[in-house]
Amino acid sequence: MLFSDSMVSNLLLIAILTLVAGGAVFCLIAAFRTYLRYRGDRVVTCPQSKEPATVHVKLSSAAISSMFGKPAVRLDECSRWPERQHCGQGCLAEIDLAGQNCLVRNMVNNWYKGKTCAYCQKPFDELHWHNPAPALLGPNHTCVQWNEVRPEQLAQIFETYLPVCWNCYIAETYRRKFPDRVTNRNWERGAGGEYVPKETGTEVQTKTESK
């Protein structure tokens, strides 16, 4: 059976549209994967100052360029800008090397996971980012949510602060603001109100008071 000219034209048109659609889907998948890979704030070591810095990759250019080859990764935010805005962005090498490990959300999740709340002793599991952010109990015996801290300072703060769950953060904040409305029960507490087990009370309390 011979094909008419119109049938051949239609088949060619279908083949071309299929190739175009397939190419578009491939490009979109590449762009989406690049977006997932580079989204989020990251903490890196600045090659110039040798100190922590918070950076953010320009997602639009990285995603678009990845549709045609290797993504063009550049920063659009840095905690050392605008003073160092025209630097060589040498920290991009660390981002490629560290991958997801330098993401702020992963750093925070890894620090909290396996620890217990300083007040109620409830263990922390995987953090869910749609939930309220947990807090930190500082050396001055006050609480602050972790996302109120500059990301580049988190590593240093994690060395001296204690983890606090959201419920206890709310309760302790209320207790400190309105002490006349709260009845404090006698239980094993450190200087900041945190729980101190009897068997290790001296050790835990010494840690808190020495910060």
Domain that holds residue 148: 104-210
Residues 179 and 116 in one domain: yes
Residues 21 and 76 in one domain: yes
Residues 110 and 206 in one domain: yes
Return d(Cα 142, Cα 129) in angstroms, integer: 23
pLDDT higher at 194 or 98: 98
Helix/strand/coil for 58: coil
Return d(Cα 180, Cα 86) in angstroms, integer: 54
Q: How does pLDDT run across 149-187, given as a tens digit for each residue?
A: 999 999 999 999 999 999 999 998 888 888 787 776 655
Cβ count near 135 (within 10 Å): 27
Per-residue model confidence (pLDDT) at position 9: 77
Residues 113 and 194 in one domain: yes
pLDDT range class, residue 205, cuts 50, 70, 90 = very low
How many domains would you assign to the chain?
Answer: 2
Q: What is the pTM of this model?
A: 0.74
Residues 71 and 110 in one domain: no
Residues 117 and 67 in one domain: no
Q: How does pLDDT run across 46-91, given as a tens digit for each residue?
A: 999 999 999 999 999 999 999 998 999 999 999 999 888 889 999 9
Residues 98 and 108 in one domain: no
Instruction: Evaluate if residue 203 carries a pLDDT over 90.
Output: no
pLDDT higher at 11 or 170: 170
Q: CA separation (Å) from 29 to 26, 71, 97?
A: 5, 13, 23
Q: CA separation (Å) from 102 to 39, 45, 63, 111, 151?
A: 12, 10, 20, 13, 11
pLDDT range class, residue 200, cuts 50, 70, 90 = very low
Per-residue model confidence (pLDDT) at position 211: 44
Residues 119 and 90 in one domain: no
Per-residue model confidence (pLDDT) at position 85: 85
- pLDDT mean across residues, the chain: 85
Last residue of a domain, one of 102, 135, 157: 102
Residues 98 and 54 in one domain: yes
Residues 198 and 110 in one domain: yes
Report the number of secondary-structure helices (H) and strands (E) in the chain. Answer: 7, 6
